[in-house]
Amino acid sequence: MKLQDIVKLNQSFEFDYLSQDRELAQQVQIRLVDLKLLSGVADGAYGPITRQATVKFAQAFDLPELLNAVFAEKLIEAKEVPNTIVLIPTSLPICGVELIKRFEGCFLNAYPDPLTKREPITIGWGSTKKRDGSPWRLGESISQQEADELLILQLERNYLPDLAKIPCWGELNPNQQGALLSFGYNLGSKFYGAPGFDSMTKVLKNRDWDKIRETFIKYRNPGTNVEKGLLARRQAEAELFLTPII
């Protein structure tokens, strides 16, 4: 389905319907990226980030939060959006950022490191540095918008450069890159070729995608109290990696 079909047939859906229609979700994402409400690659993966941008568009034009003919026509025709905060442009795969947000917690008030009870002070989706590189201090807080932008900035600066060094990175589609972005954010961006990551390194080096699911699942810290959560994350990353781009 396309936005034009919604207008022509005068249909109406909840925004979350986009999770069922990848073609429509991708068209919506393309327009939201054009309007600077969304950043990254329009890959048709619908999640919290895309939903947030869709809601912002509706609110900017005083529209109900429904994917109906009025919304679709306005999204097709809009040249700019009033009173919007421009997101940081990024080449990150949206689906990977969505997956990270699904499994990471977001805290808008600065908090101490759980292990040291001191530094590094962390905020948002795990940011330990401000935009200018200075550390956060206890008592400081940020908005959800700032937390989202800090995550993108952190991924661009500290994770994407290392992931881009993986020999096959440029051959991967956005879903595959997104899965590895989540994996790297969780376990470290320099995992390729590092001790303890022989299985993942070998699979990526040989492009042996038949073994990618079982390989993701190996990295779940078996026998620990975090195994259940890590298993769910690894399964989600494997599923995303193996989801073709339509």
Decide if pLDDT at 73 tops 90: yes
Residues of the chain with pLDDT > 90, as a percent, come to 67
Average pLDDT of the chain, as a whole number: 91
Q: What are phi and psi of 93, to 5 degrees?
A: -70, 125
Decide if pLDDT at 87 tops 60: no
Residue-wise pLDDT for 166-187, tens only, equals 999 999 999 999 999 999 999 9
User: Rounded to 10 degrees, what is the CA torsion of 158, 91, 121, 85?
Assistant: 150
**Which range among 75-84, 180-189, 190-199 shows the weakest confidence by mean pLDDT?**
75-84
Distance CA 56, CA 78 (A): 14
Task: Single out the catalytic residue among 104, 146, 156, 239.
Answer: 104
Decide if pLDDT at 90 tops 70: no
Residues of the chain with pLDDT > 70, as a percent, come to 96
Position 92 confidence tier, pLDDT thresholds 50, 70, 90: confident
Please check whether residue 123 is in contact with residue 111, taking contact to mean a CB–CB distance below 8 angstroms: yes
Q: What pLDDT, on the 0 to 100 scale, is given for residue 4?
A: 96
| Average of per-residue pLDDT across 19-48 | 89
Model pTM above 0.95? no
Interstrand relation of 12-13 and 122-124 (parallel, antiparallel or unpaired): unpaired
The one-letter amino acid at 85? I
| Average of per-residue pLDDT across 115-127 | 89
Decide if pLDDT at 135 tops 80: yes
Q: What are phi and psi of 21, to 5 degrees?
A: -130, 95
Q: What pLDDT, on the 0 to 100 scale, is given for residue 83?
A: 63
**From the CB of residue 244, how many other CB atoms can be counted at a distance below 10 Å?**
7
DSSP line for 188-246: -TT-TT-TT-HHHHHHHHHT-GGGHHHHHHH-S-TTSTTHHHHHHHHHHHHHHHTSPP-
Please check whether residue 120 is in contact with residue 113, taking contact to mean a CB–CB distance below 8 angstroms: yes
Among residues 232, 244, 245, which one has the least CA distance to residue 99? 232
* Exposure on the CB side of residue 127, measured as CA atoms within 13 A: 33
Residue-wise pLDDT for 200-239, tens only, equals 999 999 999 999 999 999 999 999 998 999 999 999 999 9
Q: Which residue has the higher pLDDT, 19 or 49?
A: 19
Active-site annotation holds for 23: no
Contacting residues for 135 by C-beta, under 8 A, at least 6 apart = 119, 120, 121, 128, 129
Q: What pLDDT, on the 0 to 100 scale, is given for residue 84?
A: 54
